[in-house]
Amino acid sequence: MSIITIERKVLQKNDEVARRNRALFFSHGTFAINLVSSPGSGKTSILERTLQQLKGELKVAVIEGDIQTDLDARRIASLGAPVVQIVTNGSCHLEAKLVEDALSNLDLAQVQLLIIENVGNLVCPANYDLGEAVKVVVASTTEGDDKPLKYPAMFRNATVLMINKIDLLPYVDCNLEQLKKNALSINPGLTIFETSCVTKEGLEGWCAWLRSKMIFVGRS
Ligand SMILES: Nc1nc2c(ncn2[C@@H]2O[C@H](COP(=O)(O)OP(=O)(O)O)[C@@H](O)[C@H]2O)c(=O)[nH]1
Ligand SMILES: [Mg+2]
């Protein structure tokens, strides 16, 4: 019983900070994305491809959340984008306070699109609002087609589903239609993109969606 109470207090506190982050993003016209998936689905690869496609067009910054190492932040920095690394030291998700602290290292006036790569985990990050406008969940074909049914909270809370590694479909036991059907049975409102970071298929549609959101926040 006491565990439940503490958990509720932690989440209430987190929601308070998330509201502050959201107000800050709104005041700067920054569209913030919380990018979530299991480890290895391709979050950093999608970020790399997105930065390459939007270079010179949109001002994009990245916050990298990892349990250990700054390997992903180095990958992003090598593409010239502003990036802040958060190392959670074992914690399985990012919290709003960590993002708030990281934001002091970014000039949001210069950021139209902020992508926060969360720790690879389909469970814990679902409960922690970071102040983002939308959650984007990545599911790769190598994980099979049942993940939306097994981790429904994440898919229910997401606005966009990216089905990544579609280049591997001929080799893996994953039925694409079944995967989409499972995801839509949990969240019928999901916008779905099918992508490959190897062939670059589907990434233009994803980038077009991002551009449409820049109009939404009133900047171009
Ligand atoms: N075949 C294939 N491999 C991919 C694709 N996207 C990412 N990968 C590989 O999957 C591995 C994990 O990718 P990464 O972006 O680090 O995943 P993250 O842990 O979600 O950030 C790396 O070896 C990537 O090169 C894809 O679309 N197709
Ligand atoms: Mg990564």
From first to last of its 220 residues, the chain has per-residue pLDDT tens of 556 676 788 899 999 999 999 999 999 999 999 999 999 999 999 999 999 999 999 999 999 999 999 999 999 999 999 999 999 998 999 999 999 999 999 999 999 999 999 999 999 999 999 999 999 999 999 999 999 999 999 999 999 999 999 999 999 999 999 999 999 999 999 999 999 999 999 999 999 999 999 965 545 4
What pLDDT is recorded for position 220? 44
Pocket of ligand 1 (CB under 6 A): 37, 39-45, 120, 164-165, 167-168, 196-198
The SS3 of residue 187 is: coil
- CATH superfamily entry for domain 2-216: P-loop containing nucleotide triphosphate hydrolases (3.40.50.300)
CA-CA distance, 166 to 130, in Å (whole number)?
Answer: 29
64: left (phi over 0), alpha (psi -120 to 50) or beta: beta
Q: Which residues surround ligand 2, an ion (CB under 5 A)?
A: 43-44, 72
What pLDDT is recorded for position 217? 55
CA-CA distance, 37 to 201, in Å (whole number)?
Answer: 20
Nearest to 119 by CA among 46, 43, 67: 67
What pLDDT is recorded for position 7? 76
CA-CA distance, 85 to 118, in Å (whole number)?
Answer: 11
Q: Which two tokens stand for residue 14?
A: 């987190």
What pLDDT is recorded for position 122? 95
All structural domains of the chain with their residue ranges = 2-216
- Which atom number of ligand 1 is nearest to the Cα of residue 164? 27
Using alpha carbons only, give the angle 131, 135, 140 rounded to the nearest 5 degrees: 150
What pLDDT is recorded for position 161? 98
In the chain, % helix, strand, coil (3-state, to 5) comes to 50, 20, 35
- Which atom number of ligand 1 is nearest to the Cα of residue 39? 19
> Which amino acid is it at 183?
A
What pLDDT is recorded for position 152? 97
